[in-house]
Amino acid sequence: MKIEIINLEGIHNREIKGLEAIAKVFPKEWLAYASLELLREQRGSREFDLVIVTFDRILAVEIKDWNGELKSNGNEWVVNGKSRGKSPVLVIDKKAKILLSELKRISKVKDLNQVPVEGLVVLTGSSDKQHLESKEKKSVFSLNEFLELHKDNHYRKIFQNIINRNLCENKDTFNQFFSNKHFFKPQEQTYQNHKIVGEPIYTHPTQLYSEYEAQDIISNTKALLRLWELYRLPIDQNTQEARREIVEREARVLAHLKQVQSKLFENRVIVEQKSYEATDIIAEKYVEIYDLPINQDRLSQFVHKTHLTSEERISLIKFMLSHFADIHEVNIAHRDLGIDCIWANPSKVSFSGFMSATLPNANTIRERLDILRSNRNQLPEHALDISGTDPFRQDVFSLGVASHIIAFSELPTQDEGIPQWHKKETFQQYDSWFETALSWEPSARYANAREMSDAFNDISGNEPERIDVSSLIGRYKTSEVVMIKYTSTEQLKYPPPALVYKSSTNNVPVLVKSWSVQNIGEITQGLELYNFLHSVEKLSR
């Protein structure tokens, strides 16, 4: 059976396995259409993974490539204890009814309004229907069960009221209907309930992956989406084992970091993976979803759109080095730390892109580093084949480049593509520090980020970072009288700096914490309040 794919880009990775098997087995006379979206003016659109025209009826098919224990919980389905939303049986049944009503537009097919449109769910992963409601099971098939429909006796056992007719002789009419742009449009590609917004914000030099801003189609929250195109891997590295090692590396690194250095996540220093879908097969296109840092830009963008004072530049470098020292202290090195992996605002720095990182007590990915490395920073030891380096000294050089951008709003000058330190008219007290950090001789650099951070603090002094973040905190201010909106049931703490008490809203107990604007000048000189509000905002998403 040939499947007419309305939009090749709209095909999800999870659907490919099922579609290929169905096309191979089903009768060649049957008609099939994949990846389409039915347009309904002022009533919303409906997406269809697959529509099949058999000899006597039409099948609307929802494909779910899920793995793990599948259960019903009322009107929703749950996989491995995690809700997957409304029951696909209910969803596809409604879609089938809508499709039937729209098919009435086809006047050339005799008695089409009497043709059954069946809504079916096909499970192509390891999940099965064992624990589903009995009334749902009749509409749910494993892939192998569904493929049995090509056998006439099995088909007649599953479907009732078989009518001996030949709908497929109306091939041209059905083709015109399903390709009519007034009725259908190509299905928009989504990944784990996220759609891509705009052009890539970063693309790997070999186009192995691209990163995009994405939007959750349910909550409308933003995320960072990384789309791997694994068919670009060299042939000898394009195995299932290699693919899995590559795409799951960062998740493993972050899991280890969270276990041994949890404060990095509490302080939102690490860009954290937002969602993960386990899959038995790593397809040629693979997606990861990460939290998009709130009110932070990639360092490459930030320095060109923000005016910073000298004190703010020094403080931002101190934040960056201190946080990265915490990473190095647990024996993890990034190994590919470019300015597109560093996110910043005037008071905060975060890091992403750990797919090339070292991981203690784990298999090395050294043989894949040349493939993964983005060359965001051309390191002297790589370009000139200099020995005596290690991952931590490589990170030091990259942190030196990032510090140069923060201090001087520009990349270091380059010699044959390699960043090189040249003295500047400003921040002259840091000349020797930059010279050491950006040394082309690895052994002459600081040994790690902690040593680098300590050396920087020796020059700048160890006084705590004080940055005016009033403009950032201002977005959290309210003109409402908080104690009227949230009546106190028990007072826990009095200002300064904050009033803390118990209350309730909609019969739900809550804890209220408020700061008086009378103290705003004092509290906006530190980062604690902003970081707290920032974290709460992140959780509320």
Average pLDDT on 64-70 reads: 90
SS3 409: coil
Q: What is the pLDDT of residues 101-160, one digit of tens each?
A: 888 777 677 777 788 999 999 999 899 999 999 999 999 999 999 999 999 999 999 998
The number of folded domains in the chain is 3
| Positive or negative: CA dihedral 95, 101, 103, 109 | positive
Domain range enclosing 166: 3-186
**Residue 540 in domain:** no
Q: Please, where are the H alpha helices in 438-527?
A: 449-460, 470-473, 482-485, 520-523
Give the residue from 213, 210, 208, 216 showing the smallest Cα distance to 191.
216
C-alpha neighbours within 13 Å on the C-beta side of residue 367: 8
405-426 per-position pLDDT tens digit: 999 999 999 988 899 999 999 9
Residue 530 falls inside a structural domain: no
Structural domain includes residue 465: no
Instruction: Work out the pLDDT band at 32, boundaries 50, 70, 90.
Output: very high
Nearest to 309 by CA among 409, 424, 400, 402: 409
Q: Calculate the average pLDDT of the chain.
A: 85
pLDDT at 239 over 60: yes
Q: What is the pLDDT of residue 192?
A: 81
DSSP E strands in 369-482: the ranges are 414-415, 418-419
> 122 in a domain, yes or no?
yes
For residue 530, what pLDDT band results from cuts at 50, 70 and 90?
A: low
Angle at 138 between CA 75 and CA 24, to 5 degrees: 115
pLDDT at 50 over 80: yes
- Stronger pLDDT, 5 or 465, i.e. the higher one: 5
Q: Among residues 437, 253, 272, which one has the least CA distance to residue 332?
A: 253
531 belongs to a structural domain: no
Q: What span, in angstroms and rounded, lies between the C-alpha atoms of 184 and 354?
A: 41
List the CATH number of the domain containing 211. 1.10.510.10
| CB neighbourhood size of 529 (10 A) | 19
Which has more confidence, 141 or 304?
Answer: 141
Inter-residue contact 64 to 18 (CB < 8 Å): no
Q: What b-and-e string marks burial along 303-334, b requiring 16 or more CB atoms within 10 Å of the CB?
A: beeeebeeebbbbbbbbbbbbbbbbbeeebbb
| Structural domain contains residue 234 | yes
Q: What is the pLDDT of residue 412?
A: 94
317 has pLDDT over 80: yes
Q: Are residues 386 and 284 part of one domain?
A: yes
pLDDT for position 133? 92
pLDDT reported for residue 117: 92
Query: Could you give the CA distance from residue 501 to residue 137 in angstroms, rounded to a whole number?
Result: 51
Mean pLDDT of 197-206: 89
Distance CA 157, CA 149 (A): 9
Tell me, yes or no, whether 136 and 167 share the same domain: yes
Contacts of residue 235, defined as CB under 8 A and 6 or more positions apart, other chains included, come to none
Per-residue pLDDT at 278: 66
Per-residue pLDDT tens digits for 266-298: 888 999 998 776 677 787 788 999 998 888 899
Q: Do residue 12 and residue 127 come from a single domain? A: yes
Report the distance separating Cα 448 and Cα 451, nearest Å: 6
- 426 and 357 part of one domain: yes
Is residue 32 assigned to a domain?
yes
* Whether 343 contacts 297, CB under 8 Å: yes
Percent pLDDT > 90 in the chain is 43
Q: How confident is the model at residue 73 (pLDDT cuts 50, 70, 90)?
A: confident
pLDDT grade for 525, boundaries at 50, 70 and 90: very low
**Residues whose CB falls within 8 Å of the CB of residue 485, separated by 6 or more in sequence, listed in order:** none
CATH of the domain at 144: 3.40.1350
Are 178 and 214 contained in the same domain?
no
Percent of the chain with pLDDT over 70: 87
Q: Which residue, of 186, 221, 250, is where some domain finishes?
A: 186
**Cβ atoms < 10 Å from Cβ of 490:** 9
Same domain? For 244 and 142 the reply is: no
Kindly state the tokens that stand for 149. 């429909």
Regarding whether 346 and 249 lie in a shared domain, the answer is: yes
What per-residue confidence (pLDDT) applies to 428? 94
Sheet holding 342-345, edge to edge: 297-298, 342-345, 348-351
What gap in Å lies between CA 406 and CA 410, rounded to an integer? 8
102 plus 238 within the same structural domain: no
Same domain for 181 and 263: no
CA distance 481 to 495: 16
Residues 428 and 508 in one domain: no
Q: Among 161, 186, 211, which residue terminates a domain?
A: 186
Identity of the residue numbered 438: L
State yes or no: pLDDT of 509 exceeds 70: yes
Closest among 195, 247, 172 to 9, alpha carbons compared: 195
Q: Specify whether 434 is located in the same domain as 495.
A: no
Measured distance CA(91)–CA(237) in Å, rounded = 40
DSSP-derived pairing of the beta strands 58-64 and 46-53: antiparallel
**Out of 134-138, 244-248, 528-532, which region has the weakest mean confidence (pLDDT)?**
528-532
Q: Which of 190, 211, 185 is nearest to 200 (CA)?
A: 211
Instruction: Using alpha carbons, select from 349, 388, 336 the residue that is nearest to residue 467.
Output: 349
Confidence of residue 43 (pLDDT cuts 50, 70, 90): low
* 537 domain-assigned: no
Domain closes at, from 442, 460, 478:
460
Residues 275 and 382 in one domain: yes
